[in-house]
Amino acid sequence: MSVAAPPPARPRSGWFGRITLGIWALAAVALVVYLVRAWNPQLVATYGPAYARGLWTTIVLVSISYGVGALVSVPLALGRMSPRRWAQALSFGYVSFFRGTPLIAQIFLVYYGLGSFRGAFEAVGLWWFFRDAWYCAVFALSLNTAAYQCEILRGAIQSVSKGQWEGAKALALPRRVTVRRVVVPQALMVALRPYANELILMVKSSAIVAIITVFDLFGETRRAFSRSFDFQTYVWAAVFYLVIVEIVRNLTNAAESRLTRHLRR
């Protein structure tokens, strides 16, 4: 006598996800209603140009820092993967320091700490760089993101299977060609999302530079609030940051869809 198979498990209703989505939808509606009711044309006319300047400062600051950090991360990643112990130790120490300490402390160390060595920097002609808050912000953000991008790059390269290296070797491809044509394209597909996440984190973390008198988007927001005492100034800043993050997220989705189109065929 055959035994009837048990009925298939019923899929979960997903009620928690629907509740969460509903909460976010209500929050978005509440934000829109607040902005419509609190709309102040005089505030926008007075501080709109300052917000535009601050937004441009944030974009330039993050772009330069992210690019410089990407360049610095390459030798760091090579050092982390190097068979030489001294290279591993130096890279590991760098990454551990900048990933293990707060960004605000690093900015203070660069802006205030290096200022203690003014005489030494004047002797080598670098004081013009470290006396300027803008350059100090770029320097600190670049060093910080380089540590994170180093780990992203190292993990992406190590995710490429050994079979890819062996296959290229069997084809007698030079190592440089193997790295450029075989390993790097696959590693970049793996690293795309982490790189985008790091960029988003940088956009939000860049608001810290306002404390060293760099008038980025958040710096201009603080100045607008100190003069108007209108809480709406911070709400608009949050909207601008949200728009930037959404642009990065959608561009990442488009790039990922294009790079992996061959996997969907």
Q: Which pLDDT tens digit goes with each residue over 91-114?
A: 999 999 999 999 999 999 999 998
SS3 181: helix
Residue 214 CA, chain-centre distance (Å), reads 19
Least reliable range by pLDDT among 40-44, 63-67, 131-135, 153-157: 40-44
- The span from the CA of 126 to the CA of 122, in Å, is 6
Amino acid identity of residue 106, one-letter, is Q
Label residue 4 by pLDDT band (50, 70, 90).
Answer: low
236 pLDDT above the threshold of 90: no
Q: Name every residue whose Cβ is closer than 8 Å to that of residue 225 and which is 6 or more positions away in sequence.
A: 231, 233, 234
**What value, to the nearest 5°, has the Cα angle with vertex 50 and ends 107 and 207?**
25
Which parts of 206-265 fold into alpha helices (H)?
217-228, 232-259
- The span from the CA of 77 to the CA of 191, in Å, is 13
Residue 89 CA, chain-centre distance (Å), reads 25
Long-range contacts of 36-41, Cβ-Cβ distance < 8 Å, separation of 24 or more: 38/232, 38/235, 40/230, 40/232
8 pLDDT above the threshold of 70: no
- The span from the CA of 116 to the CA of 106, in Å, is 15
Instruction: With CA atoms as reference, report the closest residue to 141 among 100, 112, 77, 98.
Output: 98
**Per-residue pLDDT tens over the stretch 39-54:** 777 877 888 899 999 9
- The span from the CA of 131 to the CA of 139, in Å, is 12
Tell me if 206 sits within 8 A of 66, measured CB to CB. no
Packing angle of the helix pair 217-228, 41-81 (nearest 10 deg): 150
Token couple for 256: 């990922």
Q: CA 131, 137, 140, 146 torsion: positive or negative?
A: negative
Tell me if 148 sits within 8 A of 80, measured CB to CB. no
- The span from the CA of 153 to the CA of 165, in Å, is 17
Domain 42-260: homologous superfamily in CATH: MetI-like (1.10.3720.10)
- The span from the CA of 38 to the CA of 192, in Å, is 39
State the pLDDT at residue 66: 96
**Per-residue pLDDT tens over the stretch 150-200:** 999 999 888 888 887 778 778 777 878 887 788 877 888 888 899 999 999
User: In the chain, what percentage of residues exceed pLDDT 70?
Assistant: 92
**Per-residue pLDDT tens over the stretch 210-233:** 999 899 999 999 999 988 888 888
* Side-chain half-sphere CA neighbours of 230 within 13 A: 19
Rg (Cα) of the chain, in Å, rounded?
A: 24
**What value, to the nearest 5°, has the Cα angle with vertex 81 and ends 77 and 84?**
115
Q: State the chain's mean pLDDT as an integer.
A: 86
Global pTM? 0.83
State the pLDDT at residue 26: 83
- Return the higher-pLDDT residue of 24 and 208: 208
